[in-house]
Structure 1
Amino acid sequence: MSSKMVVSQPQPVMHVLGSDEWSSRICDCCQDVPECCCAFWCLPCFACRTSKKYGECLCLPLLDIFGFIPPIAMSMRVSMRQRYGIRGNMCRDCLFTFFCYSCSWCQMSREMKSRQIPIVLVNSNYR
């Protein structure tokens, strides 16, 4: 009987966009109408769900109601730009989250869908 030696195991496929730009513009709500309707009718629920999908605490966006400039939405945009290699600066992130809060959350949700990169959380214990 002949036996075969497995040299490599199947690996998950990751689709990564090669662009350093957002996959959609800030007001491209027609690209994902159900998501934008959800954001329009129940923005706190939508923001919490998007935050959870990104790998952050579910209730984190609820802290945005306490600030003049929404710190959570802004920090998530900055984090998303850094994770996906998107060009931009904190000034633009601040303007988008202040003047277009719901559109900003919709853009981040569309970006996560278009990048299709699974989030892997690693827990390291240093002793």
Structure 2
Amino acid sequence: MYSSNPADNYQKVDPSAPQGIPTNYAPPPVHQVGGQVAGPWATGLCDCFSDCETCCLTFWCPCITFGRIAEIVDRGATSCGTSGALYTLIALVTGCQCFYSCFYRTKIRQQYNLHDGPCGDCLLHCCCEACALCQEYSELKHRGFDMSIGWHGNVERQNRGVAMAPVAQGGMKR
């Protein structure tokens, strides 16, 4: 099994074989979502002061900021009012609205293939709720959404330039 000579127990290395990391080796990307390389956020986590309007809205009424984010991320399935009211109710009853809002950060990251931070979404929302909401709000604005008109308003605005086929009045007749 093993030789009494310790030098015989080690694997012999061919001196002509290349040593070290090959020059054509590229390590896999650090951030991958669904097999694709994740991209950066449009703004940093602490860039909330660069957009004073969003910063003030989030500081004074985070339920509105969250409601607008949720409506866009859910593609109109939930309204701004419903999401904002639920956020407020959770905040008033339990004080743990960060656990509700962190799920929407995860949805944004998955929809737009964005980096996750050095800490998880829930931890980020628990420690920096206002900054996280501002970053998410700014991300959606940078992606072309007018946050104040909601999902349906953005869809309508986008479809204004598209010509629709005329609708025949009275249906088809032979």
Q: TM-score range by the shorter chain?
A: 0.5 to 0.7
Equivalent positions of 1:63-78 (< 5 A) are 64-65=90-91, 66=94, 68=96, 70-78=98-106
1:30 aligns with 2:49: yes
The TM-score normalised by the length of structure 2 is 0.50
> 1:62 corresponds to which residue?
88
**Structure 1 unaligned runs (5+)?**
1-18, 122-127
CA–CA distance in 2 between the matches of 1:73 and 1:53? 14
Give the 3 Å change call, closer, same or farther, for CA 89–37 of structure 1 in structure 2. Answer: closer
> 2:141 corresponds to which residue?
113
The TM-score normalised by the length of structure 1 is 0.66
Q: Identity percentage over the alignment?
A: 27
Structure 2 residue identity aligned to 1:109: Y
**Structure 2 unaligned runs (5+)?**
1-37, 156-174
Contact 2:58-2:134 within 8 A present in 1 as well:
yes
CA distances 1:88-121 after superposition (whole Å, capped 9, x unpaired): 1695211210001111111100000112269689
Give the 3 Å change call, closer, same or farther, for CA 68–44 of structure 1 in structure 2. Answer: closer
Contact 1:21-1:87 within 8 A present in 2 as well:
yes
CA distances 1:13-34 after superposition (whole Å, capped 9, x unpaired): xxxxxx7011111110132111
Contact 1:64-1:70 within 8 A present in 2 as well:
no
Give the root-mean-square deviation of aligned CA atoms: 3.0
Give the secondary structure class of the aligned counterpart of 2:120: helix
Aligned residue-pair number:
104
Contact 1:78-1:90 within 8 A present in 2 as well:
no
1:52 aligns with 2:71: yes
Contact 2:65-2:137 within 8 A present in 1 as well:
no
Deviates more, 1:61-70 or 1:95-104: 61-70
Give the 3 Å change call, closer, same or farther, for CA 20–117 of structure 1 in structure 2. Answer: farther
CA–CA distance in 2 between the matches of 1:97 and 1:64? 14
Give the secondary structure class of the aligned counterpart of 1:70: helix
- Computing the radius of gyration from Cα coordinates, the structure with the larger value is 2
